[in-house]
Amino acid sequence: MRLRALLPFFAFWFLAVSTLSAQHSPDPTQARLAAVAHLAALTHSDFKTLSAQAQSGDPEAQYWLARVYEQGRLVPKDSMQFESWLFKSAEQGYAR
């Protein structure tokens, strides 16, 4: 009998937690669109800055530099450079 009285409480708790966790989950489509927009707006000056940061060991810069080489933005597509920079970024724990 007592379990039946607690059922509405647990149902409410479950719905509340499910709703909150769904609100904080990043939308992969939005993240992908943001990344594409970021790379599309890249200038030569941005590329030089990004390269310098990547070479100094910044894992996020290494990730974005890898994406530049993957897409051939401002530089020719280069799968070797893409893999190299992506690996360096991943080695430092940067996950995107």
pLDDT tens per residue, range 21-51: 445 556 666 666 666 667 778 889 989 999 9
**Tokens of residue 71, six digits:** 């897409």
The pLDDT value recorded for residue 4 is 56
**Residue with structure tokens 């599309």?**
40
* Cα–Cα distance measured from residue 68 to residue 74, given in angstroms and rounded to the nearest whole number: 8
- pTM equals 0.64
Neighbours of 67 (CB within 10 A): 21
**Tokens of residue 2, six digits:** 């007592």
Q: Pick the more confident residue, 88 or 9.
A: 88
**Residue with structure tokens 């669109």?**
33
The pLDDT value recorded for residue 12 is 47
